[in-house]
Amino acid sequence: MTQRDPAASTPVAASDSNSANPTSEIPSPLFGSCPLPIFQHKNIVLGHGSGGKLTSELIDKVFLRAFANPILDKLDDQAVLEINGARLAFTTDSFVVTPIFFPGGDIGTLAINGTVNDLAMSGARPLYLAAAFILEEGLPAEELRRVVESMGAAAREAGVQLVTGDTKVVNRGKGDKLFITTTGIGAIERDVNISASRARPGDKILLSGYIGDHGMAIMSKRENLEFEGAIESDCAALHGLVDCMLDACDALTDKRSDGHPLHCMRDPTRGGVATTLNEIASQSKVGMFLREDQIPVRESVQGACEILGLDALYVANEGKLVAIVAADAADAVLQGMQDHPLGRDAKMIGEVVSEHPGMVRMETRVGGTRILDVMFGEQLPRIC
Amino acid sequence: MEVCGGQTHSIVKNGIDHLLPEGVELVHGPGCPVCVTPLEMIDKAHAIARLPDVIFCSFGDMLRVPGSAGDLFTIKSEGGDVRVVYSPIDCIKIAHANPDKKVVFFAIGFETTAPANAMLAWRAKQEGLKNVSLLVSHVLVPPALAAILQSPENRVQGFLGPGHVCAVMGYEEYEPISAKYHVPIVVSGFEPLDILQGTLMTIRQLETERGEVENQYSRILDREGNKTAQKLVFQVFQVGDRNWRGIGTIPQSGYHLRAEFADYDAEKLFDVAQIATRESEICISGEILRGIKKPKDCPAFGTVCTPQSPLGATMVSAEGACAAYYTYGRHLNQAKGVDVPIHSVGGAA
C-alpha cells in the first residue's frame, strides 16, 4: 500500500512502495517469539504512516512478524507470482487523501493510477483492478459520483478494467469522507527482473521528471496557500513510460550477458525521491551519490517548500519514477524516457557507488555534500 | 558564528562549512527557537495538551520535541487534541468553531515569530474571546549575543546576524554590542550566497580591524525594521528574564505577556507552576550554543544522542546544530575538508 496523504494514515501491508527498511533482520519464528515489547509505541502515531523510519519499524516489528514469507520479504512495491509458468504482478494500495479533490486530480484518479503504477514498476502490463470503498455517513452523493466517474475515466485511459469491488458505510465521524483501497493484477510478459535489491555499483540513477508536484498541490490546497502558477498534482499512469524504457532495453539486450539492464524501478510516492532511494540503497546494500543540480524541481514547488519549511526531495509524487539502470544502457533508457510525454523532463541524477552502503549522499548546488537521510516520521514544517 | 538556526540548517545542508578556506570556521549560535525552549516549558505544554477540554496548537517542529515523557505526537495518539498551525491567527478560527474548548497556542520563538504571536493575543482581546490563551516562551537575540561575548571562554570573532529577526526589529540595537566588544556583526540571509557574502563581509571587517554592523540582507530589511510589527509586539509583550535551554537564565532576554493580557496567559490559567525538570548530565549543548564546542566534540553525538532520542537542546530540532550535523553531515570526518571519496557523476544526456 502506498499512502497518498502525507499526514493522515497508517500502512496496512508490506507489499507496498516506500514502506519498509529491508535491512532489519526479521527474527526467525523458530527461535520463539519474544513476549516482551517488540514495538516501542503504545499507540499508533501519524508518523507510522509517513514512509520513514517509524513506518519501517511498524512493518518490521508488527506486520512481517505475522506474515513473513519469501515473496513478502522482498518488500517490493508489488509481489511477483509465478503460476503455471505465467508471471503475475500483484499489489494493493489504500487512499486516504484530504482534500479528496485537488488541482490535477482527485482520490479516484489516485486510486487507479497508484495501483497501476505499482504494477508497472515490476515491468508488468496492468490488467485488472478491484476496488473497496469505505464511505462516511453524510458524504454528498454527488462527490462520490464525481470520484467514481474519474476512476472510470482513469481506468479506461490506463487500459485496465475494474472487475470486482466492495462498499461499506461507517457512522459519521468514523471515517474521513471516503477511503478507497484498490488491488491490481498484471502480467509480466517481458524477460525482466526488476527489484529494489538489484542496484549495483556503477549503475546510473534516472528520474522521470519534476519532483514534489503532487505533495505540494495537496498541501497548498489544504492550507489555502496560493502560489504564482498553480501547482498541479502530477498524478498519471506510468506503464506507457515503462514500456518505452523496456523497448529501449530490448534494443540492447542481445549484446548482454549480465541480465536485464533495468535493475530497479519505483514510483517515489510517500516520502519522495529521498525515501525511495534510501530504500533501494538499503535493500541493495549499496551507496548512492546524487547531484542536486540535476534534480528537476519547479520554481513554484521550491517556493512553496521554502514557505512551509519542507524539502522537495521528501515530498510525494504520483506520476514519477526512479530507475536504476546498468551504466552501458543508461543513455538509451534515458532517451527512451525522454521520447515519452511523461518522461520528457527525465534526467540522470546520479549513480550507485560501493562506498557508504545504505547511505544516499548528494553534491549540493554550491559544491558541498550532504546526506539524504531517511525521515524519522512526518516531515514537519519549520518554525522560521 | 551564524546566529540563526535557519542559517545553520542552510550551511550544513549545502555543505558550505566544508567549502570555506583554512582559517575560517563557522560556529553555530543560539538562534534555534525550538532548541532553546526550556524542557520545563515543554513539560508544561504537554501537561496542558493532555487535558481533555484543551485544543493545543503549535508550530509543526515542536511536535516531535520530547519532554520528560513523550512528545506531542504521542499525546495526540493518546487522544489529546493537538493541531499544527501555520499561523497563530488560525487559533482564532479554531476558538470560534469550538466554543466549549480551551484553545492554547504554544507561542515560542525569537523576535521573528513575536508579531504574529502578539497578533493572536491582541485579536483575542479585541474580539473578547474567552477560550484562547498563549503559553509564551519568547526569547531575544541581542542579550544572547552579549552573553556569549561576555563569557571568558568566548572564541567568536564575528557574527552573521539574524536576517529574519532583523526584518522585524531592524539592526539598530546591535550597534551598541558591536561597538562595545569591537566585533563585526553582518546581518545575513539564508541562501548559500547570502551566507558566503556575509562571511566575506565579516572577514573584510576583521582584516581591516573594524567592528561594525553591516547589512548583507538589504533586499529584505533596513536599519529600522518593521515599525508596525514592533508597535504591536510592545503593546502585547514586555521584556523580562528568560531561561534558555542549555544556557540558563539570561536577564532581560525574553518576552512575557503584559499585565493587560494576563487573561490570555496559559501559565496563569492552567496549574503548571510546579513542573520541574532535569536535563542530561552528558549533554554539551550549552557549550555548543555558545560556540565553545561543536557537535562532534560530544561523546554522545550520534550514539546515545540522535534526533530520534535527543539528550538536549541542539539535537531536538532540525535547526539545532547537532541535528543538522547528524542529518546532513555525519559522513564528513572531524577534520575540515576530509571526506570519504566522491565519485564523479555524469550529467544528463
Residues of B in contact with A383 (CB under 8 A): 33-34, 59-62, 108-109, 113, 317, 319
| CATH classification code of B35-140+227-269 | 3.40.50.11740
C-alpha distances (whole Å) from A297 to each of A52, A305, A341, B17 are 22, 10, 17, 25
**Nearest to residue B329, comparing CAs of B13, B34, B5, B4?**
B13
Render pLDDT for A119-166 as a digit per residue (tens, 0 to 9): 999 999 999 999 999 999 999 999 999 999 999 999 999 999 999 999
Residues of A in contact with B229 (CB under 8 A): none
**Nearest to residue B3, comparing CAs of B206, B248, B209, B216?**
B216
pLDDT averaged over consecutive 10-residue blocks of chain B (349 residues)?
A: 93 91 92 91 96 96 86 93 93 97 97 97 97 97 95 94 97 98 97 96 97 97 97 98 92 97 97 85 88 91 88 84 88 48 33
Residues 25-44 of A with CB under 8 A from B: 41-44
Q: Is B187 exposed, middle or buried (0-12, 13-18, 19+ CB in 10 A)?
A: buried
- Whole-number pLDDT of residue A263: 97
Contact between chains at B348 and A45 (C-beta distance less than 8 A): no
B59 touches chain A (CB under 8 A): yes
In terms of DSSP bridges, do strands A86-95 and B132-139 run parallel, antiparallel, or are they unpaired? Answer: unpaired
Mutation target among B77, B105, B317, B330 for the A interface, most CBs of A within 10 A: B77
Residues 157-196 of B with CB under 8 A from A: 164, 192, 196
Residues of B in contact with A348 (CB under 8 A): 345-349
Q: Which domains does chain A have, with CATH numbers?
A: 29-187 (3.30.1330.10), 204-372 (3.90.650.10)
Q: How many contacts (CB atoms, under 8 Å) link A and B?
A: 139
Residues of A in contact with B34 (CB under 8 A): 383
Q: What does chain B come to in residues? A: 349
- Whole-number pLDDT of residue B349: 29
**B137-163 exposure pattern, b = at least 16 Cβ within 10 A, e = fewer:** bbbbbbbbbbbbbeeeebebebbbbbb
Residues of A in contact with B63 (CB under 8 A): 380
In this structure, what are the phi and psi dihedrals at residue B237, rounded to the nearest 5 degrees? -110, 155
Contact between chains at A366 and B78 (C-beta distance less than 8 A): no
Q: Which amino acid is at B40?
A: E
Å between A70 CA and nearest CA of chain B: 31
Domain coordinates in residue numbering, chain B: 14-29+141-215, 35-140+227-269, 285-329
Strands of the A125-136 sheet, one edge to the other: A79-83, A86-95, A178-187, A125-136, A161-170
Residues of B in contact with A221 (CB under 8 A): none
DSSP A270: T
Å between B152 CA and nearest CA of chain A: 31
Residues 222-241 of A with CB under 8 A from B: 223
Q: Which amino acid is at B298?
A: C
What is the reported pTM?
0.83
Contact between chains at A383 and B59 (C-beta distance less than 8 A): yes
Helices (H), chain B: 5-14, 33-36, 39-49, 72-77, 90-97, 114-126, 141-150, 163-169, 175-181, 192-207, 227-236, 266-269, 285-289, 313-316, 321-329
- Whole-number pLDDT of residue A38: 57
Closest chain A CA to residue B114: A384
Residues 194-223 of B with CB under 8 A from A: 196
- Whole-number pLDDT of residue B16: 94
Equal fold, B14-29+141-215 vs B35-140+227-269: yes
Contact B62, B34 (CB under 8 A): yes
In CATH terms, is domain B14-29+141-215 a member of 3.30.420.40? Answer: no
- Whole-number pLDDT of residue A87: 97
Omega into A99 within 30° of 0, i.e. cis?
Answer: yes
- Whole-number pLDDT of residue A255: 64
Mutation target among B8, B14, B87 for the A interface, most CBs of A within 10 A: B14
Cα-based torsion angle of the residue sequence B316, B319, B322, B326 in order, rounded to the nearest 10 degrees: 100
Q: What is the 3-state secondary structure (H, E, C) of A122-178?
A: CCCEEEEEEEEEEEECCCCHHHHHHHHHHHHHHHHHHCCEEEEEEEEEECCCCCCCE
Residues of B in contact with A42 (CB under 8 A): 74, 77-78
Cα-based torsion angle of the residue sequence A181, A187, A191, A195 in order, rounded to the nearest 10 degrees: 10
Q: How far apart are CA A287 and CA A84, in angstroms?
A: 37
Contact between chains at B61 and A382 (C-beta distance less than 8 A): yes
Q: How far apart are CA B237 and CA B250, in angstroms?
A: 17
A53 touches chain B (CB under 8 A): yes
Ranges under pLDDT 50 in chain A: 1-37
DSSP bridge pairs for A186? A89, A126
Residues of A in contact with B345 (CB under 8 A): 289-291, 294, 348, 350-351, 363
Contacts of A326 (CB under 8 A, 6+ apart): A200, A202, A203, A204, A258, A261, A263
Contact between chains at A367 and B15 (C-beta distance less than 8 A): yes
Closest chain B CA to residue A346: B348
- Whole-number pLDDT of residue A159: 96
DSSP bridge pairs for B188? B162
